[in-house]
A and B are shown apart, each in its own frame.
Chain A
């Protein structure tokens, strides 16, 4: 018996633009999630490093709950659960951005915490000895150094989020995986559209990793 499969990529003529939209949406949502996750995550890392235990507890609970549950479940909770409490529909876009940001922020909080702790203790002492307040020293002295420490890890997080964002397709957010799935539904071809999306993901992430590697070496060279 012979298993002959007829490869058929002819759908690319009619549906190629689906991929372009998908790529744009994937990159957009990932970038925005990581950037707003950076802001939120930095604030959470402050909680985790606070001298007050209730704040530390809030920070830990946030990080542990987010890291201890699957993204897809969080996404469903935001998409279907939040409207029940709010009393109005928040829409797929908001749910998608919110879920991905809040998820990424938990991981970034841990990255930032490590980055801040890696800054030499003498830096804070020197800043404080000059009369700087704790928050001024944090902004002027500690965070710029911490940020430089964690840039490679943040880049990594961006790559991870690009992959994870494929989950957003399940609530109808029209990113790359959703588009590939849409093509499958429209053409009844199931393998090839997914293969193309896999290839696109790989190219995106491979390029990104290489760029990050170059950036990291530059950063090290400037030390």
Chain B
């Protein structure tokens, strides 16, 4: 579904990604871990071109994303993204946050968008908050709305950029639960996270990124249980 080859990204003189090769199959749940500053968020943000790669290629559903001629807006419609800082629209209600893009981008009727939106809000357990503004929500609730907002576009893949890192500990669970149920339904997901327990439980494959390269990858149980590379060992010994 997604094929990344030789992906490079630098900001000025700083090389963040130094040639990443990865393939993501439909229905796969990929968990990306690594020390901070390793480039794992940048890798994720390159997938939907929030960052413009400085080298290499990304292919998504047979389209070359890194081609200049590609319609980036159309491409992003089928790639949902969830941010660390939620980034809900503060001047819109919860339901409006969820229905805005379907109405304005997919030209869906308001009634249909609200029907789908309410269904999604029910799914993340926030139907009763439909008319609340984001500032009235807790962090966990905000992130669940953000997930519903991304799902409203009926994406083929969901990108999660440290979705629980800005949350109070007691709210991490409710967000991870929503993500688990998504994974169970077969959603293709790429998740950058520090939640090792979650990575082990939900991930089909784990990518360990350090220094802008994939240092090691494999099924989470194998990587966690028997890391091969010294840097993986060092990192895991610190976080586990």
Contacts and interface: CB of A to CB of B under 8 A. Distances in A.
A21 interface: no
A136 B77 CA distance: 14
Contacts, number: 60
Contacts of A129: 48, 50, 76, 79-81, 83, 150
Contact of A126 (B74, B77, B89, B104): B89
B100 A122 contact: no
Contact of A132 (B81, B87, B90, B101): B101
A131 B74 contact: yes
Given A128-B76, A129-B48, A123 B87 contact: yes
A140 B97 CA distance: 11
Given A122-B87, A130-B76, A130-B77, A136 B105 contact: yes
Interface in A105-147: 120, 122-123, 125-133, 136, 140-141, 144-145
A119 to B, nearest CB: 10
A85 B109 CA distance: 51
Contacts of B75: 131
Chain A: number of interface residues, binned into ranges: 10 to 19
Interface string A138-177: 0011001100100000000000000000000000000000
Nearest to A145: B91
B85 interface: yes
B83 A132 contact: no
Interface residues of B, number: 26
Which of B74, B101, B150 counts the most chain A CB atoms within 10 A? B101
Given A136-B104, A136-B105, A223-B135, A131 B89 contact: no
B91 A144 contact: yes
A175 to B, nearest CB: 37
Contacts of B76: 128-131
Nearest to A122: B87
Contacts of B85: 120, 122
Interface of B: 48, 50, 73-77, 79-81, 83, 85, 87-91, 100-101, 104-105, 135, 146, 149-150, 153
Given A126-B83, A131-B101, 18 more contacts: A120-B87, A125-B50, A125-B83, A126-B88, A126-B89, A128-B50, A129-B76, A130-B100, A130-B105, A130-B149, A131-B75, A131-B105, A131-B153, A136-B104, A144-B91, A145-B91, A148-B91, A223-B135
5 tightest A-B contacts by CB?
A131-B77, A126-B87, A130-B101, A122-B87, A129-B81
